[in-house]
Amino acid sequence: MKQAVNFRLDETTLTTIAVLAKDLQTSKTDIIEKAVMQFAASRLNRKNVLMQFAATLAADEADAILDAIQADKSSKDIDSAL
């Protein structure tokens, strides 16, 4: 059974939902439900690809990659003279 919920969305998002619902001849609820499910599926797919890659690495290789990512992330300099 569906439940009524409240969300605050900006005007652009509301207009997009309304246009999609009209173009696809479906309800706004259906648009939101499908969008959420598609978003969840894409996140899961991305996670699965990462996990497949991770399984090909030895523990020390994975640690070295993580260390390099952390070091790169920490060493970002911002050029304020843009």
- How many structural domains comprise the chain? 1
Q: What is the pLDDT, as a whole number, of residue 12?
A: 96
Residue 8 lies in a domain: no
DSSP state of 55: T
Q: What is the pLDDT, as a whole number, of residue 55?
A: 67
The residues of the chain scoring below 70 in pLDDT are: 45-55, 74-82
Residue 11 lies in a domain: no
Residue 59 lies in a domain: yes
Residue 5 lies in a domain: no
Q: Is 2 left (phi over 0), alpha (psi -120 to 50) or beta?
A: beta
The model carries a pTM of 0.55
Q: What is the pLDDT, as a whole number, of residue 59?
A: 74
Q: What is the pLDDT, as a whole number, of residue 5?
A: 92
* Backbone torsions φ then ψ of 26, nearest 5 degrees: -140, 180
